[in-house]
Amino acid sequence: MTAEDLAKYKPIQRDVMTITYRNFKITSLGAPSGGPVVLSILKTVEGYKTMGDLQSLNLSIHRLDEATRFGFGAVIIIL
């Protein structure tokens, strides 16, 4: 990287994505960052009320794994 490279640099402003997850507002960058994948995963696991409970730890891990696969797949289709 040279001083000339920095002089020519122009930042790209991208729109942000926002979701509500369990009464929290979560904001992230859109594509090409990983934001859409993470937001998709959060929205998928939001429906499972026992996520993170010690009694259902194995099931929670399985659901998180499946939500991650779905999140990556859904974002690739959208892009």
Per-residue pLDDT 10s for the chain (79 aa) are 999 999 999 998 888 999 999 999 999 998 888 899 999 999 999 999 888 889 999 999 999 999 999 988 876 665 5
Using the Cα atoms of residue 38, residue 69, residue 73 and residue 42 in order, give the sign of their dihedral: negative
Whether 57 is covered by a domain: the verdict is yes
Which pTM value belongs to this model? 0.74
Whether residue 26 lies inside any domain: the answer is: yes
Q: Is residue 71 part of a domain?
A: yes
Whether 3 is in a domain gets the answer: no
> How far, in Å, CA of 47 to CA of 70, rounded?
14
Three-state DSSP state, 25? strand
Whether 30 is in a domain gets the answer yes
Whether residue 1 is contained in a domain is answered as: no
Q: Is the peptide bond before 36 cis (omega within 30 degrees of 0)?
A: no
Q: Provide the residue range defining the domain that includes 48.
A: 10-78
- Residue 5 resides in a domain: no
Q: What is the total count of domains within the chain? A: 1
Task: Tell me, yes or no, whether 2 lies in a domain.
Answer: no
